[in-house]
Amino acid sequence: MPDFGFTLGARSGSARTGVITTPHGEIHTPAFIPVGTKATVKALLPESVQDLGAQAVLANAYHLYLQPGPAIIDEAGGLGAFMHWPGPTFTDSGGFQVLSLGAGFKKVLAMDSGQRDDDVIAEGKERLARVDDDGVTFRSHLDGSEHRFTPEVSMQVQAAIGADIAFAFDELTTLNNTRDYQVMSLERTRLWAERCIAEHDRLRSPDRPYQALYGVIQGAQYEDLRRTAARDLGAMPFDGYGIGGAIEKRNLADIVGWVTEELPEDRPRHLLGIGEPGDLFAGVAAGADTFDCVSPSREARNSAVYTPSGRFNLLTSAHRRAFEPIDAECDCYTCTHYTRAYLHHAFKGKEMIASTLATIHNLRFTVRLVDGMRAALESGDFDAMREDFLGRYYAGAASQPAAPVVAGGDASR
C-alpha cells in the first residue's frame, strides 16, 4: 500500500470524486468521517462503525493528550490498534479544543460588544486559555491542570497517536473577533503552519507508517482573508488541507468555494465540523472531499434522528405506538430490527441501547447520503439528486415537531 496519495475522479463543476490512499486503506471521496473523540465513536463498537459503511474515523488530539496520554497510545501500536479500528484514521490538531474548551468562545456573529478580542468569551464562562505568538497556554477542562500547546507540541502529540492524517496547529477565532484581529491571527496561523511542517519532517521515521499532514485554512467570513490563507498554505508542502473556523451557515458554500478555487487541485480538502445534510451538499458542490462532525451521533444520543423527510424527535408522543422503523428505506441495523415505538420506550426509560441504536441509524444515514452524492457525481446526476433530496428533507422537516436543542460546535468531540 502506498504511503499517501490522492487521485481525482469524476467532476461536476467544482464538485469531484477521488480516492485518498493511506497506509491503512483507501478513502473514496466525497466521504463522511465519523468522529471518535477519545478513540471511540460514542455508543458504538468499531465493528458497528464498519458495518454502517464508514471508511475512516477522526479522533481528537486534545482529548487523547489529556487522557490517556499520547505515550500510552504509542505503546499500544498507534490509534488504530489501540481502538481496534483497522481502517484509516485522522486526528485534529487540538487547536479548536484548547481555545473553545479553554475559553468558552462565543461562535455566533454579533455587533460590536465593546469587548477586546482576547475577551470574546461566552457569558458566565471562565477563560482557561491564553494565546500568544508561540502557542496556547490552557487549563484542562477535566481537572484544571495547566498545559501548553505549540505547533511543535501538537505535531509531537499527533505523531505519537499515530493517525494516518494529522492537522497543523492553528488559532481558533470566532465571528465576534474584529477584522484586525483576524488579520493578525491569520499571519500567526501561517507562521505556525511553517513550524508544523518543520517539526513534522523532523519526527518522520522509516520505522513508522507515513503520517500525512493537512494545513488548516482560516479567515472567518472575509473573502480576501480566506483566499490569502488558501494561497499561502497552498504553496506549502502539505499533503492536504482542512477548511476550519466558525462559519455562518448562510455563507458556507461561498467560503468553501473561495478556498477551493485557490487550493491545489491535486490535494484533498477536508471540511471540519460539518455534518447537516444541506451543509454536506453545499460542501461537496463547492469542492470539499471529506467531512467530519459530531452532530449525527450527538443528536442521536439526544433522541433526534434523520430521515429523507426531515429530522424528528423520538421522544414525542407520536412515536409511542409507531410500530415501524425510523426510515423504511434505510438498510441500517436499527431500521431492519427495531421500531420507533421501541426507541421511544428506550429513550423514555433512559436505556443505553437507545443511544446505540439511534447513533447507528444517524451515522448510517449520513455516510449513505454522502456515498449517494459520490455515486451521483460518477453518473452525472448530482444536481438532480441534490434538488430532490433537499426538497423532500426540508419540506418534511417543516412538518415535524422540533428536535431537542443540542449545543453547537465540536469542542466536546
Summarised one tens digit per residue, pLDDT across range 8-66 is 999 999 999 999 999 999 999 999 999 999 999 999 999 999 999 999 999 999 999 99
- Is 407 a residue whose pLDDT tops 80? no
Report which residue type is found at 124.
G
Per-residue model confidence (pLDDT) at position 175: 87
Residue 410 pLDDT more than 50?
Answer: no
Q: What is the pLDDT at residue 361?
A: 98
Give the pLDDT confidence score for residue 127 in this predicted structure: 67
User: Mean pLDDT, the chain, as a whole number?
Assistant: 91
What per-residue confidence (pLDDT) applies to 52? Answer: 97
For residue 398, pLDDT beyond 90: no
Outline which parts of the chain fall under CATH 3.20.20.105.
31-292
Q: Which of 66-70, 107-111, 351-355 has the lowest mean pLDDT?
A: 107-111
Q: What is the pLDDT of residue 282?
A: 98
Residue 106 has pLDDT above 60, yes or no: no
Q: Is the pLDDT of residue 101 over 90?
A: no
Residues acting as catalytic residues: 92, 292
107-116, 123-132, 237-246, 267-276 — which is least confidently predicted? 107-116
Higher pLDDT: 191 or 3? It is: 191
Average pLDDT over residues 342-364: 98
Query: Is residue 120 pLDDT above 80, yes or no?
Result: no
Q: SS in 3 state form for the chain?
A: CCCCEEEEEEEECCEEEEEEEECCEEEEECEEEEECCCCCCCCCCHHHHHHCCCCCEEEEHHHHHHCCCHHHHHHCCCHHHHHCCCCCEEEECCHHHHHHHHHCCCCCCCCCCCCCHHHCCCCCCCCCEEECCCCEEEECCCCCCEEEECHHHHHHHHHHHCCCEEECCCCCCCCCCCHHHHHHHHHHHHHHHHHHHHHHHHHCCCCCCCCEEEEEECCCCCHHHHHHHHHHHHCCCCCEEEECCCCCHHHHHHHHHHHHHHCCCCCCEEECCCCCHHHHHHHHHCCCCEEEECHHHHHHHCCEEEECCEEEECCCHHHCCCCCCCCCCCCCHHHHHCCHHHHHHHHHCCCHHHHHHHHHHHHHHHHHHHHHHHHHHHHCCHHHHHHHHHHHHHHHHHHCCCCCCCCCCCCCC
Burial of 405: CB neighbours in 10 Å, binned 0-12, 13-18, 19+: exposed
Give residue 315's pLDDT: 98
pLDDT for 96 equals: 84
User: What are the tens digits of pLDDT across the range 294-305?
Assistant: 999 999 999 999
CATH 3.20.20.105, domain 31-292, yes or no: yes
Look at residue 123 and tell me whether its pLDDT is greater than 80.
no
Q: Residues 277-326: pLDDT tens digits?
A: 999 999 999 999 999 999 999 999 999 999 999 999 999 999 999 999 99
